[in-house]
Structure 1
Amino acid sequence: MPAKASRAAFGEALLELGATDERIVTLDADLSKSTMTAKFARTYPSRAFNVGIAESTMIGMAAGLALTGRVPFACSFACFLIGRFETIRVSVAYTQAPVKLVGTHVGVAIGEDGYTQMGLEDIACIRALPNIPIVQPADEIETKQAVAWAVEHPGPVYLRLTRQNLESVHGDDYRFRFGLAEVLRPGQDVTLLASGGPLWNCLEAAKRLAAQGLGAEVVNVATIKPLDEETILGSAGKTGRVVTVEDHGVHGGLGGAVAELLSEVMPTPLRRLGVTGFGESGDPKGLYAKHGLDPDGIAESVLKFLHR
């Protein structure tokens, strides 16, 4: 299966699901071409709402629609969506309105658009709120199944999607299971936890580490909130070392969630890889390399962590 951005897979899934489920509606803040809901809007114009550059209004409308039986997908760049934190806090989390928040263009891998368009703090913000799970799929197959799950999920959810194409890490027999992490590659020396964009790079890094005699266990943590504590603790207990890898700030994201879990339940040496400052404009692959999120950077960090 060719590489595809999770935002593109989201748009395709929404169009397919919308054909048989008239509850589904979309809301956009003047970015439907980028969030990939434009085709849904053309196909089902009475079920698509473009509110202009008014994200708070969009979220409030979505909450109202959700509370009257619709299944609203409120979509924007993650940085703009989470920038309306106070509206999400009250209108979605507090009321438990089953709004499907969709943040696209996450992380430094959006490339040339630069920091002002990068979602680097979104996980940290949503993790702080009760009632909103966080799902970050790693490829087309997982994205489409996660969207189908979100339609039927009775509460709110935050879907975190990429601008860049993602290589496939799953076969046709894969089934998304909310709340469960997935061991993609077994290993005995170190655990690599990741989701979304960096996951493929972790698998490639594991190959480099294997060439040096190290067995890296790669775990797909598609559900970032709530964490699959059993799988993560089981892997950490086996390998004794954990590295988290995320295209997000190192504070408050996947690494922070894992650090909280390990420190409270099973203290384990942990290294968090992510963005340590602000993002910047540049080539996506170059930015991953600069921030140590490419296969070579991940492998090098693991070797240093293990004193090899």
Structure 2
Amino acid sequence: MPSPSPVPDSPPRQHWEWQYLDLMRRIWDDGEERIDRTGVGTRSLFGVQLRFDLSEGRIPLLTTKRVYWKAATREMLWFLTGSTSIRPLLEQGVTIWSDWPLAKYRRDTGDDITQEAFEARIVADDAFAARWGDLGPVYGKQWVDWPTYEPAGDGLFRRGPGIDQVSQVVASLRTNPASRRHIVEGWNVAELDRMALPPCHKTYQFHVSGGRLSCLLTQRSCDVALGLPFNLVGATVLTRMLAQQTGLEPGELVWSGGDTHLYLNHAHLVETQLARVPSGDPRLDLAARAETIFAYAIDDFTVRDYAPQPPIAAPVAV
């Protein structure tokens, strides 16, 4: 296993991004090598925490490589629609969810279709999209339409009204900000087997103190190189929307990771990124408050003062 480059001596290590780089280095140096579900293999730590200040528009957007923040924001807005299809994402040019349904299609049909052709057919063909572009009840489906069931007689049950957890949190933040129950949960045990991928970023808990809204994101499993940069942007976007909707100022993002890992085939990414030095202080601007939290659009978000170093390509483990 290649050794990480030495820690750069300058500039001073007060920059918030050193938390991320130090975690990456610690995983690579000290993590346990494990065989994982994908068969790729990881180096992993369990139970870590990072904290980021969100005040004055700050956003934990990595500067040691380019993070495509618009794709992460579009994904969060897609979650809030409750959609389970990758089609709306592909129509916006976001391909981050294609790997899982593509792998299933190839496995089930034996057709070694290219990703580009698969995505084009999802966009163009309604029936194909319905059959192969659906991910099952992932993320947003649980967030805004958690299923309930009610007796239908003779020991049978019928589908009851879905639970909109996001709207409930908006209401509770407005009416009872001191509550300890501001939670959006994605881990629906009864439906895990129907999901293309069980939720990694599974629990969002919100806390109000001094007129500021903070978010604790609990992640059961985290790909630090590719997934975590997106997760930090998504959680920040969600927190900013909730804060605006409830008349609060953004506070802090606290990120908590369970199995926190780097894939063994990401050595080039790790080596390259750890040789870089963070700089800059990007800010996220949000347009005037939308009518509801579900009414925001990508054009409502602007990132300024973001001058990252070049992107670093690496394969996604499926």
TM-score, normalization by structure 2: 0.25
Higher relative contact order at CA 8 Å, sep ≥6: structure 1 or structure 2? 2
**Structure showing the higher helix proportion among its residues:** 1
Calculate the TM-score normalised by the size of structure 1. Answer: 0.26
Larger Rg: 2
